[in-house]
Amino acid sequence: MKKISTAVWLATAAFLLLAPPFLKNYGIYLLSYWMVFIIATMGLNLTVGYAGQKSLGHAAFFGIGAYTVALMMKAGLSFWLGLPAAALICFMVGIILGFPALRVQTIYLAFATLGFNTAVWLVMRNEEWLTGGTFGINNIARPSLLDLSMEGNLQYYYLVLAFTVLMALLLLGLLKSPWGKAFTALRDNPIRAESLGIDTRSYTLLSFAIGAAYAGVAGGLFASLVQFLEPAPFAVGSSIMMYLMVVVGGPGYFLGPVLGAAVGVVLPEWLRFAQAWYLFVFGSAVVLLMIWLPDGLLSIPDRIRARKQAREASAARAAAAKTMGAQA
């Protein structure tokens, strides 16, 4: 099982690295889009999957990141200044959004974050002087790096891919550090965690803030990818979609967002043949998946392993019963 999954991941990595030059523009665009959502949902996976905080406001951070980069670039500032700024602003707003989580949990927290998302979306739509409202912001440039222009779709794809790898490695480092255990302890049993000296308050706030910073980076990359921003992609519906990506991929599985974002971004494209039925097919697929695999796609290897262990255990019990019977 382990060998199969390693092979699958290696093949995916090889494809992402080598295939794009042979793809049409639309294919490259779609892969870039997928990468952007992998970064965003990695952040949400930290908040929801590892730290156990139910957030339905992730698209708001995605939007804040996107508008930060777009507005700063329109003001003549560099993309390379805008992207860290997007991460930092989202980090700080993330801490503020974390405060409700210290008071309320589960579905109540989900509604608090949903309200936050709506408020941010209304600002994006109504404050035309800042965001251009529904007319949006046009002609957002793509960055260049050391005289190397990222204007082309292929170059920009590789930039986004590099960021995806970088952000993944940073998150992996964080999760391998004692912080990873503290987040998991917070998710599994906050009262026990506190009794062991784990500062659940700080970890709760940080799980929101770091998750938000990931959405900020993703949003910034998104702005230069699509080159046109309007409020629609940052509405509550997108937050629910991102939450769905985390859940479908497998919350608390490191590579869950890679699969989840594929289901959320790439699958709809494959389902185009279904045309008007697309949403129906997609919705039904998600319902069935949640019934069979409530812990997400990446729980499949664990389930197979558990089933094998159960089979072996019952075989051992049966053998033991036989011996006992022979003795009696």
Partner 1 sequence: MTHAHHHDRAQGAPVLQVSGLKKAYGAIQAVGGVSFSVQPGEIFGVIGPNGSGKTTLFNSMLGQITPDAGKIELNGEDVTRLGPLELNRRGVGRTFQTLQVFGKMSVRDNLIVAAQEHSGSMFSRMFAPSDSGLGAKADALIDQFRIRHVADKKAGELSYGQQKLVDIAMAFMSDPDLVLLDEPCAGVNPSLVGGISTLLKELNRNPKIGSHSSFVVIEHNMDFVMDLCHRIMVMVEGKVMAIGTPAEIRANKQVLDAYLGS
- CB 198 → partner 1: shortest distance, Å? 5
- CB 207 → partner 1: shortest distance, Å? 13
One residue of 4, 75, 191, 318 binding partner 1 per CB under 8 A = 191
Mention every residue, 6+ apart, whose C-beta is less than 8 A from residue 48.
54, 55, 211, 243, 246, 251
DSSP 194-262: HHTT--HHHHHHHHHHHHHHHHHHHHHHHHHHH--B-SGGGSHHHHHHHHHHHHHH-TT-TTHHHHHHI
- CB 209 → partner 1: shortest distance, Å? 13
Query: Which residue, 116 or 179, has its beta carbon nearer to partner 1?
Result: 179
**Residue 294 binding partner 1, by CB under 8 A:** no
> Backbone phi, then psi, for 144, in 5-degree steps?
-125, 155
One residue of 105, 155, 189, 227 binding partner 1 per CB under 8 A = 189
CA-to-CA dists, residue 270 to 12, 154, 254, 265, angstroms: 18, 22, 25, 10
**Residue 48 binding partner 1, by CB under 8 A:** no
252: left (phi over 0), alpha (psi -120 to 50) or beta: left
Say what angle helices 58-74 and 25-44 make with each other, to 10 degrees. Answer: 120
Give the binding range for partner 1 (CB under 8 A) out of 6-14, 169-177, 256-264, 268-276: 169-177
**Residue 284 binding partner 1, by CB under 8 A:** no
**Residue 311 binding partner 1, by CB under 8 A:** no
Q: Would you call 191 exposed, middle or buried from its count of C-beta atoms within 10 A (0-12, 13-18, 19+)?
A: exposed
Query: Which residue, 18 or 191, has its beta carbon nearer to partner 1?
Result: 191
What pairs with residue 148 in β-bridges? 145
Query: Which residue, 46 or 71, has its beta carbon nearer to partner 1?
Result: 46
- CB 180 → partner 1: shortest distance, Å? 8
Query: Which residue, 131 or 200, has its beta carbon nearer to partner 1?
Result: 200
Q: Within 244-263, which residues bind partner 1 (CB under 8 A)? A: 252
Using CB under 8 A, list all residues that contact partner 1.
174, 176-182, 184-185, 188-189, 191-200, 202, 252
